[in-house]
Structure 1
Amino acid sequence: MSGRITNLSNPSAARPVTNARGTLRRLASIAAVLLVCLWTQGLAASDAGASASEEPIHLILLHTNDVHGQTLPRRATWIEDREVWVGGLERAAAYIESVRRRADGPGEGVVLVDGGDWFQGTPEGRVREGREFVKLLKRLDYDAMALGNHEFDLGIEPLLALLLEAEMPSVCANLYESGERVGWVRPYRIVERCGLRIAFVGLISPSTPDITHVEARRLDFRDPIAEFTRVCDELPDDIDLVIPLTHNGLYLDRELAVARPDLPLVVGGHSHTYLRDGVVVGPTRIVQAGDKCTVVGRVDLLIDPATKRVLSSTSRLIELDRDPDPEFVDAELAAGVARLVERTDAAMSVEVGRLSETPVPPTPFASGGLGSWIADSMRTFARADVGLHNRGGIRSSLAKGPVTRRALFEVCPFGNTVVSFELTGAELEACLEQAIESRPEIRIEVSGVELDVRMVDDEEHPLRLVAVRVGGEPLDPKRTYRMATNSFLATGGDRVFRFDRELDLLDSGVLINELLEQQFAGTKSIALPTDSRFARVD
């Protein structure tokens, strides 16, 4: 079965009329036949004209991804000249409802899907291990939802409890255990709209075991392209349209589009990419809607009602930068949001300090001020030689002015603690090489070290670590150094610290966001680092 299934209708053949005996009767019959033929041809022409003039089906696909528990609007820290608040569940729900109500014409239909990472990332998202937030998310009435890597952050049992209680329409086709596809999530879901049967096939990144809770390593996250093809062969024959719903990131979505040029659309997540107009690879449109419920993605598909082929597609992102129209507000959702925020707001709204300037943003080849501050804070706290933090563990930014406890939680929401351990200079260099050279861009922040990096002609792995200085001195391979990092990396996350020997880990039990709050103690305002700890060399 191909990625898109088309049903073709066959016209029925006209039956001949039999002549009677006798000349007069024969002539009369011939005349009758002529009249019947003319009448039949007129009907056929009329039917053909009706078919040709039949309007295409207008399918509106709305999509979100990487919502990460964003219950409330959040400040747009990327807008510095004024204070703007964007996103939030109520705004998203109101826009979705407005589209549903207005798509009431013949041949119009709306589908809502999500690309994974539902709850992890805010205080509200952590209440009852995500179950309270997911109940609110369910009010939006999704048709299909991909599993994301952060669904596994608390372990497998909490995820199973969430899925059981919330009854989310989750999909994931490339997740196996003990050689069998897991039975607690469907590989696909079939949605019917406007006479179309649409199969949404869920796919998750095969790197998930390296970037989430250690329990995920007991599962087998298989190649998404191969598993997508396998699932297509299992689909019923009457499916008109197959759409991958992925948490793979844009890079793997591109690979899927190249491998399966029969796909009209891929709906993605994971890389937090704001694809304003989508990305077109051959005949395939790839869409993704950023993160944190800041926008809702919209795809408009025109589909031939006879052949079920996609005639055209357009995509855009709808900014959620204003209060919703009261006509489309979900009162029950608003009440649920208020109750959930009330459970967290008293502690989280406290102002803990101020920043004198907005942090320098990270670039693919230079440090960011926020990440450098986190690494510095861990290194100083643990009395270590080196501090290292992953950029993937920094989930929000800060702006000049007041900083609340909520803002710090949203920067580091995963409950990771400060961990330290000893390693040799040779092991330290190997870890830094792994962290730098295994990625297409720098994805760590460091403290106490300076790294010289060279660009090479390798599209997937363009960086090479040339030199390391610790405390201003060249790294000594035989010396013992003390490393401070977060508990996710220390236990093998991102494959940075993986050795043949067992590390003697000292877990402080101090949460990263709590450590950052301590940095404001006794001071009215602080300035974050502006230097880069990475240097590009020729």
Structure 2
Amino acid sequence: MRTSDGIKKNLLLTLILAAACGCARNDQAVIFATARTRGRIWPHGAEGPEKAQTGGFAVLKNLYLRETLPKLIVDSGGWFSSTPEGFLTRGKSTIACMNAVPYSLAAAGMDDLSLPPRELCKLAATAGFPVLASNLYLKTNKKPGEFASYKLLQAGKHKIGFFSLIISNPARPNRAKYLPSYKLEKETYEAGKAIKALKDAGAQMIVLLANINPKTSAKPEFYREFLSRVPRIDLIITDDPAVKKPFKANRSWIVRAGLGMEDAAKITLDIEPASGRLAKAHWEALPLPVKEYGQAPDVMKVARTYRAAADAHFSKRIGFLSEALPLAENGSSPVAEFAADCIKTWAKANAAIISVSEPAAGFSSGPVTVAGLYSAFPLDSSVVFVKIRGDDLESAIAGMPPSEISVSGLKLFLKDGALERAETKTGPLVPAKAYHLAVPDSMVNGREHTVLTNAMEFANSRRRLREIVGWCFSRKRTLSRPEGGRIVRN
């Protein structure tokens, strides 16, 4: 018979073993993740009647410091383009605030590749943390010097390996992509290389920062197909807003980073103690209210410096409008027509064509500031010089929906919604005559436009459309709205 002491000893042993197993099951670490911050270093007013201040790296730092589990904080790129600070510093303000948090690691995003290689490398060099771009190459097939292909980090006692992929088109994956200044290598090829290197370095868990082209979206099938072709990845942190909730594909967890400094993703990792592999990922999107977390003074000091410089720069007056230039009016875009006139004059061209999607806003009458210029033309499109025969130009215009373009130096006559003929001030286009045309590069980079198909010559000016519109404002004390009636519908 078992004595009462024996029963107590067995019960105590059972409890100890259960506790030990419980501790093993609860081995945890945390990854905080952000993406597409786009220069939003400062809190902004939230929606709602109280309009409480929310967002910003100073709030994020206080949230991060509260976490008691072993932790890392990572970012998936998209460092400028939507705010005055981002426009002015070309991402430097974002990296400076990330240094002050400090971040553990970051990766370049698709939007960041609008910077030329030298500028992008200089930006990455200012980071006090590793910056990844695993499948990014220069046109020379060399890796940009300031970027790493992978990095091994420690969260408590666990070794976590990171790599990143910039995915240009999830609908047509695993193909090399050639950009104006860069090359994106095939995703599976670079993933295989990075995972092997991380495993050889002792990584117990593999994390991918997946940077999806903001102009596209990745369906769950993309992740499943990708994961079926590469060695095991434990966790994918994507910057795709289409991923609303975590899901599992193969043996991997797919979660979304916090976007736009509206929130931060908190990913709690349940880790198998023996193998160090990921057992489960718990995901939360945490808002960043100033009232709840406060703001870290050291980060605020950095942010204020950039904010003050941006305010001074963007408040500068560059011109005056006697009449408003609305974004859309009676089926046309006066602000797009104004921009078309600007690039035609600047380029000394016979004509100019721009997409009505180039401007994001119009101009009010009265003083025009640098801030207004950036609000109206937020894209970094540059102007391209094109030499083209009259018949080829008319054919190219015929292939463009009339409602989607604005012209200068041309009058388009439509019949039943289709182009009947195009004329200059001197009459119809002459088929064999060479015309000098100015267009934004956004009209020649995509397959939907055919301007360059039969062009005789073309060259990128490397001057931004926004700069040229600013040049127009600086030439005259007062400007009025452009002449309308450029597209005649019968």
Matching of residue 134 in structure 1 with residue 100 in structure 2? no
Alpha-carbon distance between aligned partners in 1 of 2:356 and 2:186, rounded to the nearest angstrom: 25
**Match for 2:121 among 147, 157, 160?**
160
Aligned to 2:254: 285
Matching of residue 245 in structure 1 with residue 209 in structure 2? yes
Q: CA deviation at 1:39?
A: 7.0
Q: 1:289 to 1:526 in 2, by over 3 A?
A: farther
Task: Indicate conservation of the 8 Å contact 1:375/1:446, yes or no.
Answer: no
Q: Deviations over 1:342-384 (max 9, x none)?
A: 33423412466799798569xxxxx996985676455665665
> Which amino acid is the alignment partner of residue 50 of structure 1?
A
- Helix, strand or coil at the partner of 1:69: coil
Matching of residue 311 in structure 1 with residue 265 in structure 2? no
- Helix, strand or coil at the partner of 2:151: strand
Matching of residue 70 in structure 1 with residue 31 in structure 2? no
Alpha-carbon distance between aligned partners in 2 of 1:434 and 1:41, rounded to the nearest angstrom: 82
> Which amino acid is the alignment partner of residue 341 of structure 1?
R
Q: CA deviation at 1:124?
A: 3.5
> Which amino acid is the alignment partner of residue 102 of structure 1?
R
Percent identical among aligned pairs is 16
- Helix, strand or coil at the partner of 2:85: helix
Aligned to 2:264: 297
Q: CA deviation at 1:42?
A: 6.8
Task: Indicate conservation of the 8 Å contact 1:119/1:125, yes or no.
Answer: yes
Alpha-carbon distance between aligned partners in 2 of 1:508 and 1:302, rounded to the nearest angstrom: 46
Alignment of 1:86-101 (within 5 A): 91-101=55-65
**Match for 1:234 among 197, 204, 223?**
197
Structure 1 residues not aligned, in runs of 5+: 1-30, 362-366, 437-441, 453-465, 534-538
TM-score after normalising by structure 1: 0.64
Alpha-carbon distance between aligned partners in 2 of 1:75 and 1:381, rounded to the nearest angstrom: 41
Q: CA deviation at 1:170?
A: 0.3
Q: Deviations over 1:66-98 (max 9, x none)?
A: 33333445689xx8x9996976xxx32233223
- Helix, strand or coil at the partner of 1:235: helix
> Which amino acid is the alignment partner of residue 422 of structure 1?
K
Task: Indicate conservation of the 8 Å contact 1:203/1:224, yes or no.
Answer: yes
Aligned to 2:438: 484
Matching of residue 331 in structure 1 with residue 297 in structure 2? yes
Alpha-carbon distance between aligned partners in 2 of 1:517 and 1:161, rounded to the nearest angstrom: 28
Q: Deviations over 1:218-274 (max 9, x none)?
A: xx42012331133212222643322211323363575244321655542234xxx54
Alpha-carbon distance between aligned partners in 2 of 1:57 and 1:63, rounded to the nearest angstrom: 20
Q: Deviations over 1:317-343 (max 9, x none)?
A: 63x5x6x24964222322222222333
> Which amino acid is the alignment partner of residue 151 of structure 2?
R
The number of aligned residues is 451
Matching of residue 172 in structure 1 with residue 133 in structure 2? yes
Alpha-carbon distance between aligned partners in 2 of 1:435 and 1:43, rounded to the nearest angstrom: 79
Alignment of 1:383-402 (within 5 A): 385-389=351-355
Alpha-carbon distance between aligned partners in 1 of 2:70 and 2:101, rounded to the nearest angstrom: 16
> Which amino acid is the alignment partner of residue 314 of structure 1?
W
Q: CA deviation at 1:201?
A: 0.9
Based on CA coordinates, which of the two structures has the bigger radius of gyration?
Answer: 1
Q: 1:204 to 1:450 in 2, by over 3 A?
A: farther
Task: Indicate conservation of the 8 Å contact 2:33/2:264, yes or no.
Answer: yes
Alpha-carbon distance between aligned partners in 2 of 1:511 and 1:327, rounded to the nearest angstrom: 41
Q: 1:185 to 1:286 in 2, by over 3 A?
A: same
Q: 1:350 to 1:156 in 2, by over 3 A?
A: closer
**Match for 1:199 among 153, 158, 161?**
161
Task: Indicate conservation of the 8 Å contact 1:378/1:484, yes or no.
Answer: no
Structure 2 residues not aligned, in runs of 5+: 170-175
Alpha-carbon distance between aligned partners in 1 of 2:71 and 2:395, rounded to the nearest angstrom: 51
Q: CA deviation at 1:298?
A: 1.1
- Helix, strand or coil at the partner of 2:203: coil
Alpha-carbon distance between aligned partners in 1 of 2:311 and 2:385, rounded to the nearest angstrom: 32
Alpha-carbon distance between aligned partners in 2 of 1:251 and 1:399, rounded to the nearest angstrom: 32
Matching of residue 424 in structure 1 with residue 410 in structure 2? no
- Helix, strand or coil at the partner of 2:121: helix
Alpha-carbon distance between aligned partners in 2 of 1:326 and 1:146, rounded to the nearest angstrom: 29
Task: Indicate conservation of the 8 Å contact 2:152/2:198, yes or no.
Answer: no
Q: 1:411 to 1:359 in 2, by over 3 A?
A: closer
